[in-house]
Amino acid sequence: MKRPKPIKGIRKFVTRKPLIDEAVHETTSGGIIWRRNPQNNELELLLIQDAKNRWTIPKGHVEPGEEPKATAKREITEETGLQEMKMMSWLGKVNFRYRRNHTLVLMTMHIYLVQALGDTHKLKGEDWLNDMRWLPTNEAIDKIAYEDIGKLILIGLKRIRDAKL
């Protein structure tokens, strides 16, 4: 029996990822940080650029016994060096999942609206960050890597506008 000729572009063997051994739930918390630019009074948002060059907000894992709001404040201070802030309100949560080797990670991220106070120019990012910037709101929305966080940014901006801050 004659074998058919291979079709160009189709692989003979399909490699598959290893099976998932377990699923874990993890909780993170972070903040959409805003200020009024001291020079022009324009609203700006603070974004960080992670090790994979994605623009996002400061966030991190909730420690055992820690409330998400406290986590957001701690992570903002650790990742940006921002010392003075007002934790305004909870904006919502984002649920997503990703694969870490043989583990399916089910992630819940709590996001708060945070007003930067004091000297907002004295920022010091952690070593793993590629960049950190205050950006005009439109530019920040364009740069944010995650659509769900972008939607919560819009909710936060509406709350700022409605409160006439």
Where do the domains of the chain lie, and which CATH numbers do they carry?
A: 22-162 (3.90.79.10)
Bridge pairing between strands 103-116 and 22-36: parallel
Query: Could you give the C-alpha distances from 78 to 81, 82, 94, 127, in angstroms and in order?
Result: 6, 8, 22, 11
Q: What pLDDT tens digit does each residue of the chain (165 aa) get? A: 566 666 666 666 666 777 888 999 999 999 999 999 989 999 999 999 998 999 999 999 999 999 999 999 999 999 999 999 999 999 999 999 988 888 999 999 999 999 999 989 888 888 888 999 999 999 999 999 999 999 999 999 999 999 887
The model carries a pTM of 0.84
